[in-house]
Amino acid sequence: MDFQLGAEFSCSQCKKSLTAYDTRVREWRHLDFFQFETHIFAPLPRTKYPDCGVKTVEVPWARPMSGFTLPFEALAIELSQQMTIKAASNRLRITDDSLWRLLKKAVTEALSKLDLSGIRQIALDETSWQKGHKYVSFVFDYEERRLIFGTEGKGHEVLKEFAAFLESHGGKRENIKEVCCDMSPAFIKGIEENFPNASQTFDKFHVIKAANEALEKVRRREVETNPLLKGTCWDWMKNPKNLSQKAQERINATLSRKRLQTGKAYRLKVLLQEILDAGRTLSCAEGKAELEGWLRWALRCRIVEIIEVVKIIARHMEGILNYLPQPNDQCPA
């Protein structure tokens, strides 16, 4: 590609029209043409103005300082959302480093335009990403169901980082009215320190997770003396309606042994799941009555691991109840 001799170009700083001071040939990788790798070459003009100095003219088909055209970058971002960076770079026939740099620039540009002024409800989660207990934490816009923040770590400092990020993008920590998260003491501390007007909501996934972990501890304790429990770990974790016929038969065989605490713990877990699955079909008062009934029954079972779950639910009852009410339904104090 080329331009006409004597053509004028706008200065990228003052926008005044000037003729080219000189040119430098630049290259951009474009979308493949009939499966052949395609590149665009053009002598890129530079303008010189006393107040602005030498400025390179911007082109409409690529971002400044980028070696890729806009359509190629769009394809690269789309592929990176659907596969690993290694697979995407192989498909695009560029290096991993080139793709990472492209993505970093795209994310930085998108973040600079991010408007968080309307955020009122957020959800928190964390996951491990390497061996050695390395974690990353994420914050989601609960209403729009979109990721808005991510950082390394999982302590209460994550909420401090997010509060600063929120305010740097037009949001206010006082506007956050609800935070949905797990029952991590670190998250709870971070919410209380950084979002004073936010109520805490603990979704059913994390409550059932605690019950499943307790159930697995009971099974491991009893498996040493009851071979019937060997190899059944995943049977107990699944939702009853998702069990295969063989898995259901194995569970029924265990449930028939009335002295096994694993069976009792499983029944309690299933009942708790039914209460929480009913979720928004219950009013907050009905949900509270159901949960309190479950707590009384669970205490009577005298299973140490389940009693720990009872303590967790009792300690976080208000946050769990916040998950249950229908719109405009207020939980009793």
Please give the full DSSP string across 278-297, using - where no structure is assigned. Answer: HGGGS-HHHHHHHHHHHHHH
Cut 0.85: pTM above it: no
Q: What is the mean pLDDT of residues 105-127?
A: 91
Q: What is the pLDDT of residue 298?
A: 93
Per the CB < 8 A criterion, the answer to whether 136 and 152 are in contact is yes
Q: What is the mean pLDDT of residues 271-288?
A: 82
- 25 sits in which H/E element: strand 22-33
pLDDT confidence tier of residue 329, bands split at 50, 70 and 90: low
The yes-or-no verdict on residue 307 having pLDDT over 50 is yes
Q: What is the pLDDT of residue 280?
A: 66
Q: What is the pLDDT of residue 323?
A: 77
Q: What is the pLDDT of residue 265?
A: 92
The yes-or-no verdict on residue 70 having pLDDT over 90 is yes
CB-based burial, 172-192: b 16+ in 10 Å, e otherwise: ebeebebbbbbbbebbbebbe
The yes-or-no verdict on residue 284 having pLDDT over 80 is no
Q: What is the pLDDT of residue 327?
A: 44
Q: What is the pLDDT of residue 333?
A: 47
Length of the chain: 333
Sort strands 121-130 and 178-181 into parallel, antiparallel or unpaired. parallel
Q: What is the pLDDT of residue 132?
A: 65
The yes-or-no verdict on residue 183 having pLDDT over 90 is no
Q: What is the mean pLDDT of residues 161-184?
A: 92
Which comes out higher in pLDDT, residue 330 or 108? 108
Q: What is the pLDDT of residue 252?
A: 85
Q: What is the pLDDT of residue 330?
A: 55
**Mean pLDDT for the chain?**
87
